[in-house]
Structure formats: C-alpha cells, structure tokens
Amino acid sequence: MRLDDLAIDNCLKCTLCNAVCPVLAVHTQYPGPKRLGPELERLRREGISTDTEWVEYCLGCHRCDLACPHQVNVSEMIARAKAEHRKPLVRGLRDWWFARPGLLGRLTTILPALSNFALSIKPARFLMSKLMQITPQRKFPSYTRPNLRSPAIAEKESQRVIFFPGCFIRYNRPDLGRVVIELLERNGLTAEVASTECCGVPAMANGNAAEARAVARANVKALAQQVDSGLRIVTACSSCGHMLKTGFGGALVDEEEFAGAAQKIAGRTYDLAELLVEQLDAGKLNINFQLTDLRLAYHAPCHQRSQGIGRPWYHLLRLIPGVTVEDMDAGCCGMSGTYGFKQEKYQVSMEIGKELFASIDAVQPQMVATECATCQMQIEHGTTFKAIHPAEILLQAYGEQKTGR
Ligand code: SF4
Ligand code: SF4
C-alpha cells in the first residue's frame, strides 16, 4: 500500500477544498481540487490515463489541503499528476527553465547589466512571448552579482543559525539578505549563509519532479551535518520555508538515504519572523524601535499560511510605535512564482488577484508588506502601491539603516 492510499479513502467528497480553491473561483471550467486530486488519483493508481492540461492550472497554494477536514493531501496528488503531464514542446522548454531559477541566476549574473538590459527591452520581451510563451505584460526582476556573505565572527553570547537565502535573495536581492542578517544580529542571532541550491518549489510547480529531487538531495547534503550539530535553519522566503518544512515537499520520501535527514531539516527550519517572535517571548527582542508614521497593508502569502505559524510578521510590525497594519486576508494574489509569467495563465493570475488588489485599494496604505517576492511583484503589478518585505520595515524602524533597495 502506498503511503497515502488511506488519504484517498479519507475523501468524503464534501467539496470543502473546492470552496477555497482560488482557480475554481475565477475559472468555471477548472475541474477543482476534489476532481483533480483524490477522484482522478484513484484512476491514475489503476493505471487509467487521466492526463489533463488542467493540472497545469493548479497554483500549488495548498489552500485545499488546509481546508480538507480529513487530511487528504490534495495538492500533492495534483503535483504528481502535473509531473506526469505531457506538455507541448514550447511550454515544456519554457517550464524547464522556470524550474531552474538557480541555473538562470548563475547565467544571468555572469554579466548582470547585460542580462537586465536584455530582459527589459521590448523586442526581447516580444520574442520571449512568441518563442517561449512568457507574457510581455510582466517585468523580470533585476539580477545582481551573488555577493551575500556570512558575517564575521559571532559574539560569544550570540546563537548561530544557518540562513537559507533561496534563489531570489541570492541572485536578485542580496541586499535583502543583508537586512535579514542584520536583523538577526540585532537580536542575538548570528547567521551563517548556507551554500545551498534552489529550494525546489519552482521545479515542483513546473512539473519537474526529477529536478525537485536533485536539488532536494543537494540541499540535504549541504544542511544535514549542521542540523545534526544542533543548528537551526532560518528562511526569509515563505516558499523556501514551506519546502524545507515539508521535507522538500516529500520529494525524497522513498529515498532511505535522504528521507530521514530531510525530516530532521524540516523540524529545525524556522521563518525569520518565527525566530524573532521567539526572541520576543523570551524577552530578548530588541524593541527599541523609533516612532514611525506608516500605514501598512499586510498580505500573508499562501506558502506562509501553509506553514501553520499564524501571522508572526503581522505581530512584529505592530510592535513599531506609529505603525498601523491592516491584515488583508483577501486570498491568494494569483502570482504563484512563475505561474503569472506564463502567457496562457496571465489572465487567470490577474483575475485571482483582483480581490486582494481591491482590498489594498480600499485601505490606501502607504506601502504593502509581504514576505514573498512574487506576491510583491503581483501587488505592484495589480495596484499602484509599493510592496516590500516586512524585514526591511522592521530593520528601518531601528533608525540608522535605510531599506535595502
Ligand atoms: S475537502 Fe477533503 S474530504 Fe472534502 S472533497 Fe476535498 S479532499 Fe475530499
Ligand atoms: S493547490 Fe490551490 S490552486 Fe491547486 S487545487 Fe488546491 S486550492 Fe486549487
């Protein structure tokens, strides 16, 4: 019996998962999580072909998993079907690249100025839309040389932690990585930057199970010893956090050599805000924040919600005197990493984001805080408001340092 045979039988067809699915809410033809997950999974396990393009439309937001009262791992079933799905050649090639942000980062940062120029000019974006079906409506984030380094020697009383930066911080925003390191330092924690690969979320999301396994194995090799020595891992990207906390999305579940270590890593991984709240509870958080006149809207990314850690950033931001924060609680932004860059999914992505955009518009904040880089992109694309990582706001509230950008 496979590990989750029981999960299929647990499905009572209550349709609660359908009720929370952001794609189904805007796309009436989408079969929904109940159909694409447990219903078709039964047939797939009987060897009956159920290959359907619709699995490509799943955002991997995990809202169906959270809603299911019977712990059916709905989105994992859909992810497996996605990995089996045969795509047309052009989409397959595009998704091969989208599954490898680490490789893309290494190549684009050989000559970042040239790469940024090439990715920004209209003829190149037109060509990418024609040749790779990447929507010309979106801008690519800028790439910069990967220059994030571990800080010098830790103070004696400081606790060491391993910082898993992920591809976005490593190749696009190393300045945000330095904000993370400084925030930790100011609160009694010294970060050592991990020499790790991509977390594997983009590989899973683009149906590339082999690549997800490869990066998961490399990451386990890079982190296992440090975790065994008692160190904790900290992430500042909700998707990286989700992936590490789920034992690399279960990618290694049937690999004896790696599965145990992946589970240990899962148990020792923390979101940056989780660690800071822990310091707060222990009376060790530096709360000497300056009076900051700022009205914020906060958006909790789906992969933050899926970690089941409450809203630690919302809690931390409200410690800053003068800051008001409204929790948007308005569903998925619709971006889901590379999903919103895909030409055929652009409209769906924007439709999904509409509720969030309207909620932000209604609040008229000075800024939006959200810890996911692609949620930030989507919010800036769908509204007129700037969106930044809450760590930047928190560090700025200490006074001397400006936000990284
Ligand atoms: S919420 Fe769970 S039990 Fe209900 S239909 Fe969906 S998968 Fe089945
Ligand atoms: S993961 Fe999200 S988009 Fe995919 S089926 Fe579940 S709720 Fe819908």
- Write down the pLDDT at residue 152: 76
Residues forming beta bridges with residue 163, ordered by sequence position: 193, 234
Going by C-beta distance under 8 Å and a sequence separation of 6 or more, which residues neighbour residue 54?
30, 31, 36
Ligand 1 center–CA 5 separation, angstroms: 14
Pocket test for ligand 1, best of 4, 9, 14, 41 (most atoms within 8 A of CB): 14
The length of the chain is 405
Q: What is the pLDDT of residue 165?
A: 97
For residue 349, what are the contacts with CB-CB under 8 A and spacing of at least 6? Answer: 334, 335, 336, 339, 340, 378
Residues 5-84: name the CATH superfamily.
Alpha-helical ferredoxin (1.10.1060.10)
Which of 11, 27, 62 for mutating ligand 2's site (highest number of atoms within 8 Å of CB)?
62
Tell me how far apart the alpha carbons of residues 299 and 60 are, in angstroms, rounded to a whole number: 18
297 Ramachandran zone, left/alpha/beta (phi>0; psi -120 to 50)? beta
pTM equals: 0.94
What is the pLDDT, as a whole number, of residue 253? 86
Q: What are the residue ranges of helices labelled H in 186-340?
A: 201-205, 209-228, 238-245, 256-267, 272-281, 302-305, 312-317
Answer yes or no: is the C-beta of 74 below 6 A from any ligand 1 atom.
yes
Closest residue CA from atom 4 of ligand 1: 14
CA distance 362 to 99: 36
Q: Are 196 and 218 in contact (CB under 8 A)?
A: yes
Place of tokens 């694409």: 36
Nearest atom in ligand 2 to 36's CA? 5
Buried-exposed string 139-166: b where 16+ CB fall within 10 A, e elsewhere: ebbbbbebebebbeebeeebebbbbbbb
Q: Which residues of the chain have pLDDT under 50?
A: 1, 401-405
DSSP string, 59-96: ----HHHHH-TT---HHHHHHHHHHH----HHHHHHHH
Q: Is the dihedral of CA 278, 274, 146, 160 positive or negative?
A: positive
- Pocket flag, ligand 2, residue 38 (CB < 6 Å): no
Of 4, 6, 10, 12, which is best to mutate to test ligand 1, by the most ligand atoms within 8 angstroms of its C-beta?
A: 12
**Which of 52, 59, 68 is the pocket-test mutation for ligand 2 (most atoms within 8 Å of CB)?**
59
**pLDDT cut 70: percent of the chain above it:** 96
Ligand 1 atom at shortest distance from the alpha carbon of 33: 6
pLDDT for position 197:
84
Distance CA 216, CA 139 (A): 29
Contact between residue 57 and residue 102 where contact means Cβ atoms under 8 Å apart = no
Would you call 188 exposed, middle or buried from its count of C-beta atoms within 10 A (0-12, 13-18, 19+)?
middle
Q: List phi, psi (to 5°) of 189.
A: -130, 130
The reported pLDDT for the residue numbered 27 is 95
- How many Å lie between the centroid of ligand 1 and the Cα of residue 177? 39
| Model confidence pLDDT, tens digit, residues 172-199 | 999 999 999 999 999 999 999 999 989 9
| 271-to-34, 101, 184 alpha-carbon distances in Å | 30, 21, 12
287-396 CATH: 3.40.50
Given this model, what pLDDT does residue 207 score? 96
297 strand-pairing partners: 326, 368
Point out the ligand 1 atom lying closest to the alpha carbon of residue 74.
7
Ligand 1 near 250 CB (within 6 A): no
Rounded distance between C-alpha atoms, residue 177 and residue 217, angstroms: 24
Domains 5-84 and 287-396 share a fold: no
What is the end-to-end Cα distance of the chain in Å, rounded?
52
Which pLDDT value is given to residue 404? 40
Domain ranges for the chain, please list them: 5-84, 89-132, 159-274, 287-396
Distance CA 171, CA 102 (A): 8
Measured from the CA of 75, which atom of ligand 2 is nearest? 1
Amino acid at 68: C
Instruction: Establish how many alpha carbons lie within 13 A of residue 204's alpha carbon, considering only the half-sphere containing its beta carbon.
Output: 29
Tokens of 370: 């959200």
Distance CA 282, CA 284 (A): 5
DSSP string, 249-280: GGTTTT-HHHHHHHHHHHHTEEEHHHHHHHHH
Q: Whose C-alpha lies nearest to ligand 1, atom 3?
A: 11
Ligand 1 centroid from CA 267, angstroms: 27
The reported pLDDT for the residue numbered 405 is 41
Ligand minimally distant from the alpha carbon of residue 68: 1
Report yes or no: 255 and 247 within 8 Å, Cβ to Cβ.
no
Q: What pLDDT, on the 0 to 100 scale, is given for residue 228? A: 96
Residue 274's pLDDT is 97
C-alpha 10 – ligand 1 centre gap (Å)? 8
* Cα–Cα distance measured from residue 363 to residue 359, given in angstroms and rounded to the nearest whole number: 6
**What confidence tens digit (pLDDT) does each residue in 341-380 have?**
999 999 999 999 999 999 999 999 999 999 999 999 999 9
